Chains A and B, each alone.
Chain A
Amino acid sequence: MKTTGRRSLILYILGAAFLFGLGVFLYGFATQGGMWAVQPFNKYITTGVSSQGKVLDRNGTVLAESKNGKRVYSSDETTRRAMLHAVGDTTGYISTGVQYNYRAELSGYNGIMGLVTPNGKAGGDDITLTLDSSLCRLAKKELGSRNGAVAVYNYKTGEMLCMVSTPDFDPENVPSDINTNSKYKGAYLNKVMSAQYTPGSIFKVVTAAAAIENFSDIDSRTWDCSGSITVNGNKITDIKAYGRLHFKDALAKSSNVAFAEMAMELGTEKMTAEANAMGFNSSFSLDGINASKSVYNVAGAEKNELGWSGVGQYTDLASPYHMLVLMGAVANGGTPVMPYIIKNITTPYGTALKSGAAQAGSRLVKAETAERLQQYMRYNVTNAYGDGLFPGLKVCAKTGTAEVGGGKKPNCWMVGYSLNTDTPLAFAVVVEEQSYSIRSAGKVASSVMKAAAKIK
């Protein structure tokens, strides 16, 4: 019987497998319980047993709330559409929305009590955003029927004030042809976070930074911008011949010839190092919501391709959110204050669970370089774009007109920030398929910044 006793230890193999499996389940329960519970099919949520919390803007305007088990949004359609990508839709298709990413908090889920509370009534936490819904509404109106993205944040406090993406749709009356009609292509996408656009001339800020750091004679050098240069049989062109230009004018007039020459002179290694240092090929996130990466990759590029990459073409891609953070970095002497969107989360009992606060990111630009860039970008506005675009504000900026090919008109960019200490605002604006950046992106940036400057 001794042998039988010893052989019965085989049961422990089964026992160990059982404990392992139970461990796997419990680990999942602890780490993913919120995701499991907060599903659109969960009847605790849909029948109103657990009513989801509200989403409010910085002024307390209700953007989304639950009434009788139904999710309802702002009563104004433009506000609903403007806030769609920040707030998210009911079905959770907009994966960058707060309603998707904070669904556990909104449903009131916690690991101890699940979706119910001892008093039998459950309520989710309310989430107040840093966004200003009237500013978003304005940005949405400025974009009109054009597609694009608008983002504004306070680069001192980190508060995100405006985040709008088009095309959009009304979350209360989801169009039935949303998946088939081409006008809704990209409607589920928050372009501020998830889009990757060809940067065009706004990338010259990166090339400029590399030039500032590597050419000691930068201010005494001149570039001969005679309209075009030919490299490897490929023509790099400007809109017109600018003649001999100093560095700051090359940037202000946005000469492709000058910046392509700079990029080719700097070479693959230095260009890549500068782009990587400034946050290209890196991940950024906004309160846990991940943004698409900006891409700079010149591995194996020909010399002419390297030239084009220096003016934001070739395979370059930029995420509007990253551009916004980069502007914040330049404004803050090289180290950005990271944007946040969640002002606070409060439980139904009124206790605050989380409140957003300024948090420094990692350095993107050397302090000295940032200071120089600021001077040049300020010069862009005063001498090229005109201070009249931003009345009452001292803005530093760079525009971009990115060729996208395929017979489409270029995507127009404007990125920048205001120097004023009482309105420390950075912005990034993209308007798709336009001809002139100042008239499209510039005009949107102008109205949005004017309104944003009034926000207390």
Chain B
Amino acid sequence: MDFLTIGLGKAVPALLYFLRVLVPVITAVTMCGCFSSLKLGRRKEDPVIVLKNTVTHGIIPVLYWENSIGRSRSCDIVLRDSTVSRDHAVLMRRESGWIVTDTGSKSGTFVNGRKIKSATPVMPGDVITMGSTSLSLSRTADVKGLKLKKPYRRQASSPAALLFSASAVQLMFCVQLCLAGEKASLEPLLPFCAVFVMEWGMYFYSVKLLGRVSFELETVAFLLCGIGVMLIAGTGVKNSYTQLAAMLLGVILFCVMIWFLGDLGRVMRWRIVIGALAVLLFAANLVLGKEHNGSKNWIYLGSVSVQPSEFIKIAFVFVGASTLDRLQTAKNLTGFIAFSAICLGALFLMKDFGTACVFFVTFLIIAFMRSGSLRTIALICAVAVFGAFLILKFKPYVAKRFAVWGHVWDDPGGAGYQQTRVLSYAASGGLFGTGLGKGFLKNVFAGSSDLVFGMICEELGLVLAVVVVLSIAMLMFYARSDVTRSRSTFYSISACAAAGIMLFQTCLNVFGATDVLPMTGVTLPFISLGGSSMVSVWGLLAFIKASDERTYAARRKRK
């Protein structure tokens, strides 16, 4: 390898700088490609099936997998019939076919003249009667004169091409790292190869073996993880091994969760068990946990340390979204509020303030998406503000973090130590960084976890750092765009909650390190060093992936 450094000689620094300019550009293009491909590849909002009014012969298109029927204007299918209840029934599509359920209407719901008591399958040609309105179910193809939206002409980029450019970015990081030291080294090839094998292995498993159409979400995740792994390898190649192992576990968890979430019936059966497990895990944490840096959020199993709250995040989303009984009819949040209170209480006992904030915001998102009641949310927020006030008053370690907020430059050697280092080194890196593995922030405590945003700025440059955090934020758009196209409200809510968690964690991490917000010690999704957080973020990603109906569409085709 020496011949390379000697051969290139003085050109090496310039070459490395060129790579640092090139990397954010390719990363940005790849990210844009992924997100535009997500949008282009989606099903149009065309009717899946139609309902025909047997009297007026008016046609009502059925657009979603779950449709509420009733007099209320918020229903998906609005019936202008005073004998119909506000929320009368729900028409759902499940693996077995179309099902109709009465949601506590006054006059009841009838299928082919029979009053239904529970979920009842409906076939094309069947007539559903609510109040004085009768609707017959028909296939879209059987109805003439139905206007369909034209398919997009533009072709989305191929998943393989996008993954290929992600690998190219990672290779460029690898080259930078190989040439970073005094002597060129081949050691950084190892983490690169590991990521490479994982991403292409997953690609072949998912696209070729399972026949799934989309791979954009995984590409985004692999690209981000790759950046994180290479950044950690820059602090010493050996440091990246645990992160790689966690990444592998994360990918496996992702696959298992996609499978698990596939069957809505299974999801409903397991929700109590998972909720109970989450509470047990918290209890175990409180009993077995050891205090570390002021918070008691770690369990040590032999040489492996685990942060249980990271996994409870997944359970929290799961429980929050699945305890929804029937579409829109269950406005009762009591059970979920109780579960959330237990979780938050446990986190306060562990003194993990940052994670408690994450849970609280997740709770708000889920509670609002379920109830839609701004009044409830406002009430909860008021209680939370009061609670936060009490915490600040009685917990000096939290108050101390707030006191230094905005004043980090007053005490750069003490309370503002970490933030001033982040700002100073981030600015030292300029737009394109000082070079992978060549930074100084990595030597500061929590440099590659809590302060990792500063490390990206320093070593890889501000441009890439912004591209990275924007990519995480973009997951929000993805989760939202699938909200009405997913197979059930469960998927919609869980995807939004998962995207919300990732974005909120990004906010806390990035703004905490840069003194825009008080420092809370939360990890940056996909990037930060930390096994538990890496595994959990892949679990959260599974919720978003599951909300995309294409994830399961292909599998059904193969049956």
Q: Which residues of A contact B (CB under 8 A)?
A: 1-5, 7-12, 14-15, 17-19, 21-22, 24-26, 28-29, 33-34, 36-37, 39, 41-44, 49-50, 109-116, 118-121
Contacts and interface: CB of A to CB of B under 8 A. Distances in A.
B407 to A, nearest CB: 14
Contact of B493 (A2, A4, A24, A43): A4
B135 interface: no
Top 8 closest pairs, chain A to chain B, by CB: A114-B430, A120-B13, A37-B427, A36-B427, A118-B17, A1-B64, A33-B427, A5-B484
A10 B503 contact: no
A11 B496 contact: yes
A14 B476 contact: yes
Nearest to A11: B476
Interface stretch (B143-151, B508-516, B524-532): B508-516
Contacts of B483: 1, 4-5, 8
A39 B417 CA distance: 12
A14 B420 CA distance: 26
B328 interface: yes
A109 B427 contact: yes
B361 interface: yes
Given A4-B484, A36-B424, A41-B421, A29 B516 contact: no
Interface stretch (B102-110, B196-204, B224-232, B432-440): B432-440
Interface stretch (B365-373, B384-392, B534-542): B365-373
B505 to A, nearest CB: 11
A39 B427 CA distance: 11
Contacts of A28: 423, 514
B310 interface: no
Contacts of A111: 430-431
B520 interface: no
B14 A119 contact: yes
A271 B493 CA distance: 74
Contact of B424 (A12, A37, A119): A37
B426 interface: yes
Contact of B492 (A8, A14, A21, A114): A8
B64 A115 contact: no
Given A1-B64, A39-B420, A8 B480 contact: yes
B492 A1 contact: yes
Contact of A41 (B16, B64, B424, B504): B424
B67 interface: yes
Contacts of B68: 1, 3
A1 B76 contact: yes
Contacts of A119: 10, 13-14
Given A14-B504, A114-B427, A2 B466 contact: no
Interface string B480-510: 1001100001001100100110011011001
B66 interface: yes
6 contacts: A21-B510, A41-B413, A41-B421, A114-B427, A116-B434, A118-B13
Name, among A3, A25, A109, A111, the residue most crowded by chain B CB atoms within 10 Å (CB to CB): A25
Contacts of A43: 440
Contact of A10 (B13, B368, B511): B368
Contacts of A113: 430-432
A11 B507 CA distance: 13
A1 B67 contact: yes
Given A2-B484, A3-B328, A115-B428, A15 B473 contact: yes
Nearest to B441: A43
Given A3-B76, A3-B328, A41-B424, 18 more contacts: A1-B65, A1-B66, A2-B75, A2-B76, A3-B372, A4-B483, A7-B368, A8-B479, A8-B480, A10-B365, A10-B368, A18-B503, A22-B510, A24-B511, A24-B516, A25-B510, A36-B427, A37-B427
B425 interface: yes
Contacts of B75: 2
A36 B426 contact: yes
Given A18-B503, A39-B412, A43-B440, A1 B476 contact: no
Contact of A18 (B18, B412, B473): B473
A207 B266 CA distance: 94
B549 to A, nearest CB: 12
Given A3-B372, A11-B476, A110-B430, A21 B13 contact: no
B429 interface: yes
A301 to B, nearest CB: 38
A111 B426 CA distance: 11
B333 interface: no
Contacts of B372: 3, 7
A119 B504 CA distance: 39
B135 to A, nearest CB: 18
**Among B16, B361, B369, B469: residue with most chain A CB under 10 A:** B369
B376 interface: no
A11 B500 contact: yes
Contact of B484 (A1, A17, A36, A116): A1
A10 B427 CA distance: 34
Contacts of A114: 427-431, 433-434
Nearest to A50: B428
B507 A17 contact: yes
B517 interface: yes
Contacts of B431: 111-114
A22 B492 contact: no
B425 A42 contact: yes
A7 B369 CA distance: 5
B462 interface: yes
B74 interface: yes
A112 B16 CA distance: 16
Contacts of B365: 10-11, 14
Contacts of B480: 8-9, 11
Contacts of A12: 476
A42 B484 contact: no
A34 B480 CA distance: 39
Given A17-B507, A36-B423, A36-B427, A8 B13 contact: no
Contact of B517 (A7, A11, A21, A33): A21
Nearest to B78: A2
Nearest to B368: A10
B116 to A, nearest CB: 21
Contacts of B479: 8, 11
